[in-house]
């Protein structure tokens, strides 16, 4: 007969309902053997089974259906016997009744709704995801009990909550809550273990710690089955399972709170839980998920563990000196700006934004070239069928194995830090990704920014800002706010009507043919895109200095040198120099070689380098080896037209770019 326990007063009549189940000795033995093979405990498997079975019931509709596309995370309450972690005189010698037993939270997921029934239907052919969840539970448990820190702190927190924080009242309020219904966990698992291995009460005359184990037979009396449960009616888990192995049979008690879990649902849950355990006990896991048995057991896990342990540290160590120098400069800047922390964070965030942007672009370009270089039939004249099939395989592998996911994530993170480290080391493109603060020139550290007078050339005498307006073609740059992957860069500079501000319409196309040989003409910005830079003209500055604003910072934009047309006096070449310094540390420098002509010869560019060197700009990146030459298509080249460009136009991408351009320009002018 099923007995029920009435819920505490004020808990809307909640009461415990119970179902009893037991695995046969054969299934129990198989489950134990499989757990040992997979490197987990039975408790770890029970925790995974609780989460997977809960996924079949949480979110289930009234007609018993679940939406398999919905993902959820599960919090499982795992009971622990913390007495073993206490030392004498408070150890588990049965001489005291102490607050030693406890629990910990297992975080599981995300799992798709119906994950448990999916394992049933697979007939045990692919259970690696289940065992990965069990192994993850084991790792979480080991982290918790490591060096006895978790158990000790848990008891201290519980003691403080009871004596200081009025925990009883908090539990009462949670139990009374209409929102939570006293449910803090998706599921809970308590596994006592093997009954016959539990320590018995210490008998009189026995030495401390000398205890017998429990017996199932006492004289003519024999314990055949034994079940236990604790009430969750007031507060606790939505689904709760308590386990005890007696006579080589795993006994299970399912005891949630009704009406939150009606008795018929509890019965279904118990049946599904047992069926899942029988499936995993009999089934074969597919080694490392997507590997499909082609790799040795645990090969992907070993690879991911190696990745976690070595790849990211190796990425840092490969540029350790550069990272150390960078962190030292950041520390100096922060110390010098102690009274102006907003200035420090604005400058650092400016650096981070562009330092992150460059490495993120690289895989995008690589994937794009793979897409457009994949052979075979092309769907809709856009995407190769083989590329889609490859994506399905890759996504399937990532979805099937957490170890592959972890390996991929760690490898990507290591590649990211290695790329940024190369930028700090001056090994990743001196023109567009020379990231070091206060970087060096010819072995000497160059600190801070020069004044305008230190770089200004005689050609700037009687400089007329009105004549400087108009369209300029950029031919070379040293500037990590720009990307070497773009081409046909132009700047269209205009003063505001009152002459107190200026707007720079910065136009680019990308990626450049050299940067993405197979996909450059398929890009949504292959025919051009615009973004706007804004600034002010400070009357206190000498002519030739513009104040530029963007991304939370303002810095001077020096017009260092101009070359005039001998007949008209119009400016036909210009050298610009931007420099951002905060707290005595140079965060950014930008140098632009510009012309009114869309083409420049090598000789003309060499002359600009000579003028920049004369201005003292080589230490800041104006040397030929430190500048990137902008790629250009012929000025009269027609707009690109292909199936991808027509697709971008059909979905309105070009119209969206134009709308954004107008919005940004209007916002900047206002």
With 0-12 / 13-18 / 19 or more C-beta atoms within 10 angstroms meaning exposed / middle / buried, residue 547 is middle
Residue 383 shares a structural domain with residue 528: no
User: Residue 551 has which token pair?
Assistant: 């991304």
Where does a domain end: 230, 259, 285? 285
Residue 496 shares a structural domain with residue 614: yes
Is residue 515 assigned to a domain? yes
Asked if residue 238 lies in contact with residue 185, where contact means CB atoms within 8 angstroms, the answer is: yes
Is residue 208 assigned to a domain? no
What whole-number distance in Å separates Cα of residue 630 and Cα of residue 472?
13
DSSP letters for 610-641:
HHHHHTT-GGGTTSGGG-EEPB---TTPPPP-
| pLDDT given at position 296 | 53
Instruction: Report residues of the chain scoring pLDDT below 70.
Output: 1-12, 82-101, 122-125, 147-151, 154-170, 200-211, 284-308, 661-670
Where does a domain end: 394, 424, 454? 424
Residue 396 shares a structural domain with residue 524: no
Contacts of 587 (CB under 8 A, 6+ apart): 333, 347, 348, 350, 351, 437, 580, 581
Rounded (to 5) percent helix, strand, coil in the chain: 40, 25, 35
Q: Which helix (H) or strand (E) holds 488?
A: strand 487-495
Give the global pTM.
0.59
Long-range contact pairs involving 518-521 (C-beta distance under 8 Å, separation at least 24) = 518/368, 518/369, 518/372, 518/373, 519/365, 519/368, 519/369, 519/371, 519/372, 519/373, 521/640, 521/642, 521/644, 521/645
What whole-number distance in Å separates Cα of residue 135 and Cα of residue 338?
47
| pLDDT given at position 2 | 37
Q: Which residue from 653, 605, 663 is spatially nearest to 630, judged by alpha carbons?
A: 605
What whole-number distance in Å separates Cα of residue 385 and Cα of residue 373?
12
Number of helices and strands (H, E) in the chain? 18, 24
Residue 178 shares a structural domain with residue 271: yes
| pLDDT given at position 184 | 81
Is residue 429 assigned to a domain? no
Asked if residue 522 lies in contact with residue 492, where contact means CB atoms within 8 angstroms, the answer is: no
Q: What does the DSSP 8-state code read for residue 169?
A: H
| pLDDT given at position 669 | 47
Residue 522 shares a structural domain with residue 624: yes
Asked if residue 223 lies in contact with residue 246, where contact means CB atoms within 8 angstroms, the answer is: yes
What whole-number distance in Å separates Cα of residue 227 and Cα of residue 82?
22
Residue 526 shares a structural domain with residue 566: yes
Is residue 99 assigned to a domain? no
Strands 71-81 and 183-194: parallel
Is residue 435 assigned to a domain? no
Tens-place pLDDT, residues 208-241: 556 677 888 888 888 888 998 888 887 888 999 9
Asked if residue 428 lies in contact with residue 416, where contact means CB atoms within 8 angstroms, the answer is: no
What whole-number distance in Å separates Cα of residue 158 and Cα of residue 135?
28
| 3-state per-residue secondary structure call for 185-242 | EEEEEEEEEEHHHCECCCCCCCCCCCCCECCCEECCEECCCCCCCCCCCCCEEEEEEE
Beta bridge partners of 445: 440
Is residue 451 assigned to a domain? yes
3-state secondary structure of 13: coil
Long-range contact pairs involving 360-369 (C-beta distance under 8 Å, separation at least 24) = 361/483, 361/485, 362/419, 363/412, 365/485, 365/511, 365/515, 365/516, 365/519, 368/511, 368/516, 368/518, 368/519, 368/522, 368/523, 369/516, 369/517, 369/518, 369/519
| pLDDT given at position 4 | 38
CA distance readout (Å), 551 to 545, 548, 574: 20, 10, 25
Residue 311 shares a structural domain with residue 233: no
What whole-number distance in Å separates Cα of residue 423 and Cα of residue 426?
5
Q: Which helix (H) or strand (E) holds 419?
A: helix 402-424
Asked if residue 486 lies in contact with residue 511, where contact means CB atoms within 8 angstroms, the answer is: yes
Is residue 432 assigned to a domain? no
DSSP letters for 266-286:
HHHHHHHHHHHHHHHHH----
- Domain extent at residue 222: 5-93+104-199+215-285
Q: Which helix (H) or strand (E) holds 306?
A: helix 299-306
CA distance readout (Å), 388 to 378, 384, 651: 10, 7, 21
Is residue 556 assigned to a domain? yes
Distance from the Cα of residue 558 to its chain's centroid: 39
Where does a domain end: 263, 285, 307? 285
Q: Which residue from 187, 139, 145, 115 is spatially nearest to 40, judged by alpha carbons?
A: 139
With 0-12 / 13-18 / 19 or more C-beta atoms within 10 angstroms meaning exposed / middle / buried, residue 119 is buried
Asked if residue 439 lies in contact with residue 446, where contact means CB atoms within 8 angstroms, the answer is: yes
Residue 520 shares a structural domain with residue 562: yes
| CATH number of the domain enclosing 77 | 3.30.559.30
Residue 339 shares a structural domain with residue 268: no
| pLDDT given at position 349 | 94
CA distance readout (Å), 603 to 181, 272, 598, 606, 609: 79, 80, 15, 5, 10
Residue 466 shares a structural domain with residue 489: yes
Cβ neighbour number for residue 63 with a 10 Å cutoff = 5
Q: Give me the half-sphere count of Cα atoms (radius 13 Å) on the Cβ side of residue 417.
A: 17
Q: What does the DSSP 8-state code read for residue 660?
A: H
The tally of domains found in the chain comes to 3
Residue 486 shares a structural domain with residue 583: yes
Long-range contact pairs involving 208-216 (C-beta distance under 8 Å, separation at least 24) = 208/93, 208/95, 209/91, 209/93, 211/93, 211/94, 216/246, 216/247
With 0-12 / 13-18 / 19 or more C-beta atoms within 10 angstroms meaning exposed / middle / buried, residue 255 is buried
Residue 276 shares a structural domain with residue 306: no
User: Residue 156 has which token pair?
Assistant: 């201290």
Q: What does the DSSP 8-state code read for residue 307?
A: I
| pLDDT given at position 87 | 53
| CATH number of the domain enclosing 451 | 2.40.128.20
């Amino acid at each position: 007969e099923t007995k029920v326990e009435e819920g505490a007063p004020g808990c809307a009549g909640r009461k415990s309902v119970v179902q009893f189940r037991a695995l046969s000795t054969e299934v129990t033995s198989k489950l134990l053997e499989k757990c040992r093979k997979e490197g987990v405990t039975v408790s770890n498997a029970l925790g995974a089974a609780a989460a997977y079975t809960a996924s079949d019931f949480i979110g289930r509709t009234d007609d018993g259906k679940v939406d398999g596309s919905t993902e959820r995370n599960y919090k499982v309450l795992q009971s622990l016997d913390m007495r073993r972690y206490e030392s004498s005189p408070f150890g588990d010698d049965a001489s005291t009744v102490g607050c030693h037993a406890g629990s910990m939270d297992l975080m599981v997921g995300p799992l798709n709704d119906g994950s448990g029934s999916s394992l049933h239907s697979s007939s045990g052919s692919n259970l690696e995801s289940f065992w990965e969840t069990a192994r993850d539970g084991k790792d979480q448990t080991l982290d918790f009990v490591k060096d006895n820190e978790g158990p000790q702190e848990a008891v201290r927190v519980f003691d403080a909550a009871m004596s200081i924080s009025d925990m009883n009242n908090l539990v009462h309020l949670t139990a009374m809550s209409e929102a939570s219904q006293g449910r803090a966990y998706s599921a809970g698992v308590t596994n006592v273990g093997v009954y016959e291995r539990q320590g018995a009460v210490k008998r009189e005359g026995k030495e401390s710690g000398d205890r017998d184990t429990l017996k199932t037979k006492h004289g003519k009396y024999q314990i055949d089955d034994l079940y236990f449960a604790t009430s969750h009616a007031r507060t606790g888990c939505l689904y709760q399972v308590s386990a005890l192995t007696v006579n080589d049979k795993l006994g299970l008690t399912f005891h949630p709170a009704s009406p939150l879990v009606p008795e018929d649902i509890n019965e279904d849950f118990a049946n599904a839980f047992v069926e899942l355990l029988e499936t995993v006990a009999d089934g074969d896991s597919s080694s490392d998920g997507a590997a499909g048995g082609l790799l040795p057991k645990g090969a992907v896990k070993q690879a991911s563990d190696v990745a976690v342990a070595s790849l990211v540290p190796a990425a840092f160590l490969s540029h350790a000196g550069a990272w150390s120098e960078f962190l030292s400069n950041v520390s100096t800047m922060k110390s010098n700006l102690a009274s102006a922390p907003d200035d420090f964070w604005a400058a650092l965030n400016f650096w981070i934004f562009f330092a992150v942007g460059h490495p993120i672009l690289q895989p995008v370009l690589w994937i794009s070239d793979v897409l457009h270089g994949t052979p075979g039939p092309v769907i809709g004249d856009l995407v190769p069928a083989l590329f889609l099939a490859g994506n399905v395989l890759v996504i399937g592998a990532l979805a099937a194995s957490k170890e592959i996911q972890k390996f991929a994530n760690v490898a990507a993170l290591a590649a990211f830090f290695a790329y940024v480290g190369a930028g700090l080391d001056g090994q990743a493109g001196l023109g567009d990704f020379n990231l070091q603060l206060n970087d060096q020139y010819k072995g000497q550290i160059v600190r801070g920014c020069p004044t305008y007078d230190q770089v200004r050339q005689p050609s700037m005498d009687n400089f007329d800002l009105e004549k400087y307006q108009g369209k300029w073609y950029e031919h070379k740059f040293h500037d990590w706010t720009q990307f070497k992957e773009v081409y046909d860069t132009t700047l269209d500079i205009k003063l505001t009507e009152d002459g107190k501000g200026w707007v720079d319409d910065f136009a680019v196309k990308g990626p450049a043919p050299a940067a993405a040989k197979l996909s450059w003409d398929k890009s949504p910005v292959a025919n051009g895109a615009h973004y706007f830079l804004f600034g002010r003209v400070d009357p206190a500055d000498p002519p030739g200095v513009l104040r530029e604003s963007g991304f939370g910072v303002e810095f001077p934009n020096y017009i260092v040198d101009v070359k005039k047309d001998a007949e008209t006096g119009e400016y036909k070449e210009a050298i610009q120099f931007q420099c951002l310094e905060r707290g005595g540390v140079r965060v950014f420098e930008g140098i632009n070689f510009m012309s009114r002509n869309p083409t420049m010869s090598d000789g003309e560019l060499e002359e600009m380098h000579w003028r920049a060197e004369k201005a003292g700009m080589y230490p800041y990146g104006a040397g030929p080896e430190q500048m990137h030459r902008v790629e250009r298509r012929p000025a009269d080249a027609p707009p690109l037209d292909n199936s991808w460009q027509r697709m971008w136009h059909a979905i309105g991408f070009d119209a969206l770019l134009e709308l954004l351009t107008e919005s940004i320009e209007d916002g900047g002018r206002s």
